[in-house]
């Protein structure tokens, strides 16, 4: 579309000029879809089947295929995010509890220079724990109203409002390596570098899901670590399938029953969509899912 807004009729005309097969829908349905999802958003999925040199779409793809791909991606994000939320809460709870038990007399250990790297404290104060942050989050607002002399609320109040990335950063910047290991041990991982890489894998997928990114073609910048718990049935260690295996690993650490649910839901999700040859190829070539 470039910098010029296009009417729905023009959007359809562009698809036709680029020889995308629209025959699967009548014009009313095409307009409904474009007003529902949006031409620009669909472009992220059309991209894979558009030849920039010829300015034409592949003759092997139909508009209905792109719509099915879009909904595969959307539905997979909903499925995965539900389990990532469980991981995030579990990790947050463990961080609050075990580190606070280590420093029982320091409820604000996350801004204590004897415990944390100074740069982290400065960044936290200046970029996260602002007056707006305190006012926007009810329990913090109440805390500072009741205790106006406090610069910070206790960690169990503050951490409830921090992002997954922020709490991972806090753990990573604790000076004492043995304290970090306390948390890693709860997930049965002895190597801290591997532990943080696995956490960041979950965080990256979580951000894609939460911010409407493209998930089905996601590739990790750093391959998934080789640890016994997820050594099974991983082909491409940079693929989305590898990330899904990491999510499954953390879920299994939390609950064997939830892990079984996750495994069954993922298997059912892909098996159902493999019935469509177009989506089966996406699952094989992009997601690289291995049952």
- Per DSSP, the residues of 46-104 read HGGGEETTTTEE-TT-BHHHHHHHHHHHHHHHHHHHHHHHHHHHHHHHHHHHHHHHHTT
Span 26-59, pLDDT tens digits: 999 999 999 999 999 999 999 999 999 999 999 9
Same domain membership, residue 186 and residue 149: yes
Q: DSSP alpha helices (H): ranges in the chain? A: 8-17, 27-36, 39-46, 63-102, 118-123, 131-136, 138-146, 155-158, 164-172, 177-185, 192-210, 240-254, 256-273, 277-282
Same domain membership, residue 132 and residue 40: no
Is residue 279 included in any domain, yes or no?
yes
Same domain membership, residue 140 and residue 25: no
Same domain membership, residue 100 and residue 227: yes
Weakly modelled stretches of the chain, pLDDT under 70 = 1-2, 226-235
Give the predicted TM-score (pTM) of the model. 0.92
Is residue 1 included in any domain, yes or no?
no
Same domain membership, residue 143 and residue 113: yes
Same domain membership, residue 24 and residue 94: no
Span 120-150, pLDDT tens digits: 999 999 999 999 999 999 999 999 999 999 9
Same domain membership, residue 156 and residue 132: yes
Is residue 2 included in any domain, yes or no?
no
Domain that holds residue 22: 8-61
């Amino acid at each position: 579309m470039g910098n010029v807004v296009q009417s729905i009729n023009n959007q359809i005309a562009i698809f036709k000029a680029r020889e995308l097969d629209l025959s699967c829908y009548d014009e009313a349905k095409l307009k409904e879809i474009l007003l529902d999802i949006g031409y620009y958003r669909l472009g992220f999925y059309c991209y894979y089947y558009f030849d920039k040199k010829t300015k034409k779409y592949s003759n092997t793809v139909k508009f209905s295929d792109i719509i099915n791909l879009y909904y595969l991606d959307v539905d997979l994000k909903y499925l995965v995010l539900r389990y990532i939320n469980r991981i995030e809460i579990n990790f947050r709870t463990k961080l609050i509890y075990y580190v606070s038990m280590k420093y029982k007399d320091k409820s604000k250990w996350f801004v204590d220079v004897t415990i944390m790297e100074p740069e982290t404290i400065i960044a936290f104060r200046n970029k996260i724990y602002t007056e707006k942050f305190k006012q926007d989050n009810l329990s913090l607002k109440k805390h500072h109203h009741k205790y106006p002399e406090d610069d910070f609320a206790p960690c169990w109040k503050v951490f409830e409002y921090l992002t997954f990335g922020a709490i991972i950063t806090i753990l990573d910047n604790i000076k004492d390596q043995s304290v970090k290991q306390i948390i890693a041990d709860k997930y049965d991982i002895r190597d801290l570098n591997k532990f943080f890489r696995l956490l960041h894998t979950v965080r990256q997928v979580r951000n894609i899901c939460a911010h409407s990114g493209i998930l089905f073609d996601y590739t990790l910048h750093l391959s998934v670590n080789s640890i016994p718990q997820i050594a099974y049935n991983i082909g491409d260690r940079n693929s989305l399938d590898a990330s899904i295996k990491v999510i499954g690993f953390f879920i299994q650490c939390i609950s064997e029953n939830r892990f079984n649910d996750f495994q069954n839901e993922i298997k059912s999700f892909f098996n159902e969509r493999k019935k469509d040859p177009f989506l089966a190829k996406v699952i094989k070539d992009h997601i690289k899912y291995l049952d």
